[in-house]
Homo-oligomer: A and B are copies of this chain.
Amino acid sequence: MEKNASKKLDKSTEEKIKSAARLLFQQKGFAGTKTRDIAEAAGINLALLNYYFRSKEKLFELIMKESLGGFFSVLKNIFNDPNSTFEEKIEQLADTYISNLLLNPDIPTFILSEVRNNPETLLAVMNSKTFMIESVFLAQLQEKIKQGECQPIHPMHFLMNLLGMTVFPFVSKPMLLHLGIKSESDFTALLEERKKLIPIWIKAMLKT
């Protein structure tokens, strides 16, 4: 009762710091973010950041692991769902990721550019390096190829295309907004269209 009572109204201090940190780290990366800015954005004092999280590094690792975990747990679940067909997985992937990323458009650049600096973090989050390769999804692809239902294609090419079509628009968003897409709402509208279009394009690609 004591302090959980207010939890739904005011976020706890710890949560306020995490939210501010998440936003800033995702936008500016580790080196580009100052603990003072996090404190200010969270509306608290700098000393509290160290009180709750010990150091900037520890706070960053926490945020990074949560971001990576969120990103990959969704991927894992879809890739290994034994009850959905190959085509359904493609549709789910495009739909789920585009929806998620429209809410958090900075995540892909954050993850990709910070994994480059600390590849070890990846391993900490994913128990297996081979979960993609050994997934139900790619097995289904191999099976279709064997049955002659689609053209032979290296699984990695397939992944690069599928993830490229889905994720690349978010990575290149700042550039696209200066290169043909006029507004945020235009961007959102295009991405909403892609939920339906990507599965169609991928199928066409495989039929070649």
Q: Give residues in A with beta carbon < 8 Å to B.
A: 27-32, 109, 111-113, 115-117, 119, 122-123, 129-130, 132-133, 154-157, 159-161, 163-165, 167-169, 171-172, 174-181, 190, 193-194, 197, 200-201, 203-205, 207-208
Whether A172 and B112, one on each chain, are in contact in the complex, defined by CB atoms closer than 8 angstroms, is yes
User: A161 — which chain B residues lie within 8 A by C-beta?
Assistant: 164-165, 201
CB of A31 to closest CB in B, whole Å: 4
Q: How far is the CB of A42 from chain B (nearest CB, A)?
A: 20
Note all chain B residues with C-beta closer than 8 A to A181: 156
Partner of A130, one of B29, B32, B169, B180: B180
Asked whether, in the complex, the Cβ of A109 is within 8 Å of the Cβ of B116, the reply is yes
Q: Hey, which chain B residues are within 8 Å of A203, CB to CB?
A: 208
The 9 A-B residue pairs with the shortest CB-CB distance, nearest first, are A164-B168, A164-B164, A31-B32, A31-B31, A116-B174, A204-B208, A168-B168, A201-B205, A133-B180
